[in-house]
Structure 1
Amino acid sequence: MNDDGQVLPEMREEWQETLSWQPTPEQQQQFQQLYELILNGNRQLNLTRITDPIEFWEKHLWDSLSGVREGMG
């Protein structure tokens, strides 16, 4: 959890339904860390307007990983 108390949703069903894959707990933690780093960096530089946890999940994580779906089995 970051200073703002924002936590990324796990979205396990969505991962499974759309990518036939689910992140491990370690990967989920890495996604949370990435989210926190981006939010912290965004305070100093205008990196992104997408800071809502669900929007971040969809537009940064899911959208990026959907392109590598084949190699994630």
Structure 2
Amino acid sequence: MTTSIDANAPERDWLKTYYYLRFAVSALWVALALTIARTIPQLAAVMLIAYPAWDALATIWTPAGAAAWLGTRARC
């Protein structure tokens, strides 16, 4: 019986943490935007438009996202 060690496990752990963090930030962002919408609807509208733009840029900046965008292989 042989045991293999996955050399990419630490990098996957980092990526998993990264995506959980992105989810938490997005949930907080939407809650904040909906709370602000009652008093300053224009700011809430800007927040609800700005977040997806930031999220798209964050996706492109990850190694896997950048590799997919550029048509190359990721090194993670």
Could you say which TM-score interval applies, normalised by the shorter chain? 0.3 to 0.5
| TM-score, normalised relative to structure 2 | 0.36
Q: Which has the larger radius of gyration?
A: 2
| TM-score, normalised relative to structure 1 | 0.37
